[in-house]
Structure 1
Amino acid sequence: MKVLLIQENGRHEQNRIYRECFCLQRAFEHHEYKADVWGLGHDGYLPYIQPDYESYDLIINLENYDQTGWVPNLATVQTKKFLWSIDAHVKGIESYLKTANEGNYDLILQATPEFCNAQSVWFPNCYDDEVIKPLNLEKVYDVGFCGNIVNRAQLISIVANSFNFKLDEFVIGNDMVKAINLYKVHWNANISIDINYRNFETIGCGTCLLTSYNEHIDSLGFKDGENCLIYSNLEQMVDKTKDILNNEEKRKSIEQQGLKLAKQHTYKQRIKKILKLYKGE
């Protein structure tokens, strides 16, 4: 099987190996399938030279933020085509549906189940266990957050004023993995109806995850008090953090159970789903 992955190259050098296209490429290669990456910014990319699309068995378009119109219209390409909708919870579903319809895509891989329809299947976020893993570092911060603030400022302020807190804003790449490994508890707030990458990356680092409730999170195996901590309001957010910081044995158990769950949500596991979808199963 030969796969073409379409996505712009990462704009930040230190975060490039974490780009979805490269994570998928490594996962396909783990399963001994050939996967090529093509798109704006990649070595050898020329806008007037297109790949030989028909030489591939499957094309996956991962580009969610085409700002210049470089992504080609694949309407006449006969190869089976999947579109991965990662950020519909931010952008809305309309642009993805437009791309899928105009490009005659066979299927939309939808990261947000609320947007699933007859054209799509739920394809949850995941993490790459080749680059995100426990580093066996001393956890020196009680609570931390690694990511972008966006609409989280008020919640971050509450956490910061309540605990020994470390904010790692826009810390990316290997530094992101190291940062998460240094927290006893990694606080997270999902944006809108998303179950974001940080949920999977945190448990993949072997760090105790404290995350906001989402109605679909249980179906992914996240169990409050067993392999993570889940809060639905401010009181729970603070109280559950206090309790777990006072119970090291339970926290370490959650870390281990979270790491066990993480193995179900790697890119390598998601490839198995893609292969079934490709075969029409």
Structure 2
Amino acid sequence: MNKENTKIIAWIGNTFFRTGMDQLGYKTIHIPIRGQQVFTWKDIVEKSGCIPDMVVYADRSIAPPLAGVESFPCLTIFYCIDTHIHSWYPLYAQGFDICLVSLKDHLNRFTPRLPDSRLLWFPPVVMNNDVPLTMEKEWDLLFVGKVDPDLTPERMKFLDEVAKLVPGLHITQGEYRKLFPKARVVLNIAERGDLNFRVFEALACGSCLLTPYIEHGLNDIFTDGVHLTTYEAGNAADLVNKLEQLLANKELREKIARQGNELIESSHRIIHRAETLQAVISGMDVNKAVSTRLAANPIIRKNFMKSIYLHWAEAISDPLLKQVYLQAAKN
């Protein structure tokens, strides 16, 4: 992609695989979201300093940050992660041209308007600084994350059960990249049943991972006993049984950790996700997709977007944002 033909992407929200698109020859302009913000097309053009060829919204798990996205005159892409939290995401996605869905089993929720070629399962991605570090092992089993009786009650209850059975369990918060290498086994919990980022992060850091068996494509990517080890979700006894097998065999732990890391390196880095999106864009008629959406704009707004905008106009407290959503519902 030469400079004269460089496509500009206004990248809104989390960065995720943004730098991978830069590597492939696109020019991304990052527009961060601070707190709750809502951007119109005019706002995006002003913040970009140009008219972008594409707009990407990378999930921030907030109220809809793009108002009137169904009428944006360029290719629009929604990288959708928290469908297990926000039930309105599939409706909102109908205003975009491409939707990338992190949780595989939720893909069928997004089908009303988007064709299969532009509705993709898009598993979590790991950052470039998620790499193996060599450190002395301090803990048999490590969990890194928030444990709070109000915010994560199920997690806290389960970890309490595990702690009674595993004296070597260490629970903490902090920079996982510097904590994972100190554990013989890293524990993941997925109380919402999602294939979460922690699975990919732990393997990228070269850890031997013990994670619950979940759906959403876990077995499509990883093989139990080869790349990671699974336990029955919520079953502390099964977790302990699998842990004891791992702790008793250092060679096995290191082999699983190595094979898990090799899979990440071969298929799940930033550049791999960017190449997947580029292939979708290259394989479609972008102008036709945008013009078709714009022609159907009134129907898309009526059938999908209006109810979302009206809901958030009522639910949100900021009077300025209320007006933005109300205007988007009227247009």
TM-score scaled by structure 2? 0.71
The aligned counterpart of 1:14 is none
**Higher mean Cα deviation, 267-276 or 205-214?**
267-276
Q: 1:63 to 1:71 in 2, by over 3 A?
A: farther
The aligned counterpart of 1:12 is none
Is the aligned partner of 1:99 residue 2:105? no
Is the aligned partner of 1:133 residue 2:131? yes
* Separation of aligned partners in 1, 2:214 and 2:261: 20
The aligned counterpart of 2:218 is 217
* Separation of aligned partners in 2, 1:78 and 1:265: 32
Q: Choose from 166, 172, 179 the match for 1:168.
A: 172
Show the 5 A alignment for 1:142-181: 142-149=140-147, 150=152, 151-163=154-166, 164-169=168-173, 171=174, 175-181=175-181
Deviation at 1:184, TM superposition (A): 1.1
Deviation at 1:183, TM superposition (A): 1.2
The aligned counterpart of 1:13 is none
Deviation at 1:268, TM superposition (A): 1.6
- SS of the counterpart of 1:191? coil
Is the aligned partner of 1:207 residue 2:207? yes
Checking the alignment, whether the CA contact within 8 Å between 2:185 and 2:209 is kept in structure 1 is yes
Q: Choose from 22, 25, 31 the match for 2:18.
A: 25
Is the aligned partner of 1:110 residue 2:110? no
* Separation of aligned partners in 2, 1:51 and 1:207: 40
* Separation of aligned partners in 1, 2:206 and 2:65: 39
Is the aligned partner of 1:2 residue 2:4? no
* Separation of aligned partners in 1, 2:18 and 2:98: 19
Q: Which aligned runs of 4 or more in structure 1 are off by greater than 4 angstroms?
A: 45-49
Higher Cα Rg: structure 1 or 2?
2
Deviation at 1:235, TM superposition (A): 3.0
TM-score scaled by structure 1? 0.82
Deviation at 1:70, TM superposition (A): 4.9
Q: Deviations over 1:186-219 (max 9, x none)?
A: 1112232310000000000001010001232110
* Separation of aligned partners in 1, 2:171 and 2:244: 18
Higher RCO (CA 8 Å, separation ≥ 6 residues)? 2
Q: 1:107 to 1:29 in 2, by over 3 A?
A: closer
* Separation of aligned partners in 1, 2:181 and 2:85: 28
Identical aligned residues as a percent? 23
The one-letter code matched in structure 2 to 1:107 is: I
* Separation of aligned partners in 2, 1:46 and 1:178: 35
Checking the alignment, whether the CA contact within 8 Å between 2:188 and 2:199 is kept in structure 1 is yes
Stretches of structure 2 lacking an aligned partner (at least 5 in a row): 1-6, 285-331
The aligned counterpart of 1:251 is 253
What is the CA RMSD across the aligned residues, in angstroms? 2.4
Checking the alignment, whether the CA contact within 8 Å between 1:208 and 1:251 is kept in structure 2 is yes
Checking the alignment, whether the CA contact within 8 Å between 2:138 and 2:182 is kept in structure 1 is yes
Deviation at 1:239, TM superposition (A): 0.6
